[in-house]
Amino acid sequence: MLTENRNTGNVSSIYKTLDDASLNRKHWTTVITAGMGFFTDAYDLFIIGTVTAILTPLWHLSTGQLSLLNSISLLSSVFGAIIFGKLMDRLGRKAMYGIEVILLVLGAIASAFSQTFTELLIFRVVVGIGVGGDYATSAVITSEYANKRDRGRLIGTVFAMQGFGLLAGPLFASILLATGVSHDIAWRVMLGFGAVPAASVIYLRRKIKETPRFTMNVKGDVASTVEAIRWTTGQTVQLPTGPATASRHGKGPRLSDPLYRKRLLGTAGTWLLMDIAFYGNGVSSQVILKALFGAKASLLHNTVVAALIFLVFAVPGYWLAVYLMDKIGRKRIQWQGFLVMALGYGLIMLVPGIVKIPVLFLVIYGITYFFIEFGPNETTFVYPSEIFPTSIRGTADGLSAAGGKIGAFVAALLMPTIVKDFGLPDAMGILAVVSLAGVLLTLWSLPEPMGKTLEDASGEIDQVDRQPQEHAS
C-alpha cells in the first residue's frame, strides 16, 4: 500500500502549488467576475429605498406595503442562499455559477415593467433569490481558487464591490431626479438598470472551471483538479499515483459536528446581527433622513445626502478592510468594527439632542458606517468560505448568508415603523445592543483563518490522509 502514502504526499503538493501561487490574471478575473455580481446585489437591494419613496405617493402605498417592498428581496434571498449553497455541494460550484445572475437580470427587467404592487412584489422575490444565490456561490468559488497569502484580500475585494453598488444607486437616482425625468419613468429606469451589470458577467461565470478543491475532495477527479490548478497558476503539477478518495465516499465532516455547529452559530449569528444594523440603516436611509431633516426636505436632497455618506464613509471602509484583511486578521477587524458601531449608536441614544444637530448626527452616523465596512460587513462574508470543509462549505456559506438576510429582512421590515413610532434615538439604541452582541459572539465562536491553508483553517482531513499507518508496510 505504499502508493496510498505517495498519493497523500502528491495531493498535498497539488494544494501547495495553489496555496503558494503568486497573484495572477486568473485570480483577478475570478474576482472581477464575482465582484460585478455584488455590485448588482447592492444596487438592487438598496435602490428599492429610493424607489419606494417615489412610489408611495404614486401608488398610495401604506406603511405596511412600503415595508414589505423594502424587505421582500431580503426574505427571498434567504431561500436563494440556502438552495444554491446546498446545490453547490451536491452538483458542484460551476454547475450553479451564472444561474443566479440570470435570475437577477430577469427580476430587474420584470420589476421595471410592473404595473401593480403585487407584480412588483413578485418580481422582487425573483431578484432576492438571485441575490441569495450570488452570496452563496461567489465567496466559495473565490476562496477555493485563492492563494493562501492573499485569500482574505481576494474574497474581500469581491465583497467590496458592494460599496460601488451602494454608491451607484443614490448617484444614479440623483441624476434621474435632477434631470427632471418624471417619477413614473424614473423608478422603472432605476430598477431596470440592475440588469446591466448582472448580464455583463453571465458568460464569464459559465466559463469558469470547477474549483480544484471540489474536484479533488468531493468528486475524487484528479485529472480535473490538475487541469484547474494549471488554468489558475499556469503551473503543471504531477498527477498523484494510486486511487484518489473523495470525501463523499467515506464519513466526511458534517455541520452537526460540535466544532462546525459552533462555527456556524458564529458565522450565521454575527452576519444576522451585522445585517440588522447595516440594512436597517441602508434600506431605510430615506426614512431616517426624512426623520432627521423633516418633511420639507426633498427626495433629491435626501438621496444626495445618502450618496455622500456612502462615498465619504462607507467606500473607504470597504477598501481599508480589504487592505488589512491579511495583515491584522478577520477576527480583529470584525469585533472592533462591532464595538465602534455599538459606541456610535449608543451615543446617539444616550444624547438624543444629537438628532437636532444634523451635521453632528451625520458625522456619528457616518463613522458607524465606516466601521460597518471596516468591520463585520466585510468579514462576515469572508469567514464562512474559509472555516468549513469543502464537502459542506457551500451549505455552511449558504446558511450563514441566509442568517444575515433574515436579520436584514427583520431590520428593513421594522426599522421604518420603529423610527416613525419611537424616534431615531431609540432606533439607534436597539442597534447598539445588537452590535455589542456581535462583539461577544465573534470573540467566543470564531477562529482566525489568516495565513492558513483552507484545509488548516477548516480543520479538513482528506480521507486519504486517514488511512491507518500500518497499511504502508
pLDDT at 238: 66
297-326: per-residue pLDDT in tens?
Answer: 666 776 777 777 778 888 899 999 999 999
- Which is nearest to 48 in space by CA: 26, 19, 77? 77
Q: What grid cell was written down for 39?
A: 455590485
* CB contact at 8 A, 87 and 95: yes
Query: What pLDDT score was predicted for residue 9?
Result: 46
Exposure letters 339-369 (e unless 16+ CB within 10 A, then b): bbbbbbbbebbeeeebbeebeebbebbbbbb
Please report which confidence band the pLDDT of residue 102 belongs to, taking 50, 70 and 90 as the band edges: very high
Distances in Å between the Cα of 313 and the Cα atoms of 48, 320, 326, 343, 404 are 21, 11, 22, 17, 22
Of 51-60, 186-195, 355-364, 380-389, the poorest mean pLDDT is in 355-364
Cell matching residue 132: 441569495
Query: In one letter, which amino acid is 209?
Result: K
pLDDT of residue 305: 73
DSSP 271-303: HHHHHHHHHHHHTTHHHHHHHHH-TTS-HHHHH
Q: Is 243 exposed, middle or buried (0-12, 13-18, 19+ CB in 10 A)?
A: exposed
Query: DSSP for 201-230?
Result: THHHHHHSPPPHHHHHHTS--HHHHHHHHH
Dist. CA 409–CA 404, nearest whole Å: 9
Highest mean pLDDT among 5-14, 264-273, 365-374: 264-273
Average pLDDT for 329-342: 97
* Distance between CA atoms of residues 326 and 330, nearest Å: 8
Residue 231, pLDDT score: 86
| Cα distances (Å, whole numbers) of residue 467 to 221, 461, 473 | 19, 11, 12
Q: Which pLDDT belongs to residue 399?
A: 97
Q: Is 203 exposed, middle or buried (0-12, 13-18, 19+ CB in 10 A)?
A: exposed
Distance (Å, whole) CA 135 – CA 381: 8
Cell, residue 449? 483563518
pLDDT reading at 42 higher than 50: yes
Residue 240: per-residue pLDDT: 57
Among 162, 183, 179, 219, CA closest to 34: 162
pLDDT given for residue 127 in this prediction: 95
CA-nearest of 365, 364, 376 to 333 is 376
Q: How far apart are CA 37 and CA 47, in angstroms?
A: 15
Q: Which of 90-104, 129-143, 222-236 comes out lowest in average pLDDT?
A: 222-236
All three cell numbers of 354, joined, read 444629537
More confident residue, 289 or 233: 233
Dihedral of CA atoms 187, 188, 194, 199 in degrees, nearest 10, equals -170
pLDDT bucket at 471, cuts 50 / 70 / 90:
very low
Place of cell 466559463: 207
With a cut of 70, say whether residue 472 has pLDDT above it.
no
Mean residue pLDDT across the chain:
85
Direct distance between the N- and C-terminal alpha carbons of the chain, in angstroms, rounded to an integer: 7
For residues 308 and 365, what is the distance between their CA atoms, to the nearest angstrom? 12
- Residue 112 above 50 pLDDT? yes
Left (φ > 0), alpha (ψ -120 to 50) or beta: where does 254 sit?
Answer: beta
Can you read off the three cell numbers belonging to residue 459? 480543520
pLDDT at 248 over 60: no
Using the structure block, give the residue that is written with the C-alpha cell 489568516. Answer: 450
* Cell output for 256: 452537526
- pLDDT single digits (tens) 413-465: 787 778 778 877 888 899 999 999 999 999 999 999 999 999 899 988 643 34
Q: What is the DSSP letter of 310?
A: I
Q: How far apart are CA 322 and CA 9, in angstroms?
A: 33
What pLDDT is recorded for position 295? 62
pLDDT for 210 equals: 92
CA-CA distance, 97 to 99, in Å (whole number)?
6
> What pLDDT shows up at residue 293?
62
CB 431 within 8 A of CB 345: yes
Task: Please state, in angstroms and rounded to a whole number, the distance separating the CA atoms of residues 345 and 317.
Answer: 17
Which domains are delineated in the chain?
26-234+253-452 (1.20.1250.20)
Tell me the Cα Rg of the chain. 23
Residue 268 confidence (pLDDT): 97
- The pLDDT of residue 13 is 63
Most confident of 35-39, 76-80, 164-168: 76-80
